[in-house]
């Protein structure tokens, strides 16, 4: 085989190897910037989200939540979230006639549920809910109960429905094949959100 031909074929094989290896490396994780992940939340969150908080005998609340805003923190740290919304509150049988603004902030990890085809908040910490209500009784007797009930509701509220985000659903399904149990984990690395399979026992032992 002439020298130029061998040289050309060698270059072609090298290029193919780089492409294939690059593809293999990229298939074991998916990386999103804060803006990219927020776009997935915007698309996959069922907004406005209506949740009912029952804190009898003191009050019942109907909560209307806008799409959460997600902020990536430092490497290995939880995500920060901010949610605006409104509440209808029935305090001791006296209905508040206007919906009251509420602002919810906190820190959270993410959890993937294969059964629900959704991504949820989990391990929510340092959550604070501010309600624009100048009632001393509410502030002294109800705030703690409201925040506990709200915490439970947020944990059961899908942040991203994978049914509404088929591209993300396909990516996660592909990543899940790398784990025998189909488990996925989320982490922050170099300012980006990394989605990857949970390392299996064989992966840990070989590392």
Which run of H or E residues covers position 36? helix 34-44
Say yes or no to pLDDT of 90 above 50. Answer: yes
The correct CATH number of 34-164 out of 3.30.1360.170, 3.10.450.40, 3.15.10.40, 3.20.20.70 is 3.15.10.40
Model confidence, pTM: 0.78
What are the structure tokens assigned to 155, written together?
Answer: 């944990």
Which distant-in-sequence residues (6+ apart) come within 8 Å of 15 by Cβ? Answer: none
Query: Domain boundaries in the chain?
Result: 34-164
pLDDT in tens, 154-178: 999 999 999 999 999 999 999 998 8
- State the Cα torsion 167-168-170-172 to the nearest 10°: 170
- Report the mean per-residue pLDDT for the chain: 80
Q: Exposed (0-12), middle (13-18) or buried (19+): which is 161, by Cβ within 10 Å?
A: middle
Phi, psi of 190 (to 5 degrees): 55, 45
pLDDT digits (tens, 9 = 90+) for 177-195: 888 788 899 999 999 999 9
The CB density around residue 201, as the number of other CB atoms within 10 Å, is: 8
């Amino acid at each position: 085989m002439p020298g130029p031909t061998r040289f050309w074929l060698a270059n072609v094989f090298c290029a193919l190897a780089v492409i294939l290896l690059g593809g293999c490396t990229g298939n074991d994780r998916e990386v999103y910037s804060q803006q990219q992940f927020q776009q997935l939340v915007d698309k996959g969150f069922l907004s406005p989200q209506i949740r009912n908080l029952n804190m009898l005998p003191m009050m019942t609340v109907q909560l209307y939540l806008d799409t959460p805003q997600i902020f990536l923190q430092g490497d290995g740290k939880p995500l920060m979230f901010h949610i605006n919304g409104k509440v209808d509150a029935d305090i001791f049988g006296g209905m508040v006639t206007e919906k009251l603004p509420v602002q919810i902030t906190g820190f959270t990890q993410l959890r993937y549920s294969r059964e629900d085809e959704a991504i949820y908040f989990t391990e929510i910490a340092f959550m604070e809910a501010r309600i624009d209500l100048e009632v001393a009784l509410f502030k002294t007797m109800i705030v703690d109960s409201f925040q506990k009930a709200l915490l439970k509701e947020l944990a059961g509220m899908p942040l991203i429905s994978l049914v509404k985000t088929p591209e993300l659903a396909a990516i996660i399904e592909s990543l899940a094949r790398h784990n025998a149990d189909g488990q996925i984990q989320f982490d922050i690395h170099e300012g980006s959100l990394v989605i990857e399979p949970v390392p299996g026992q064989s992966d840990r032992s070989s590392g």
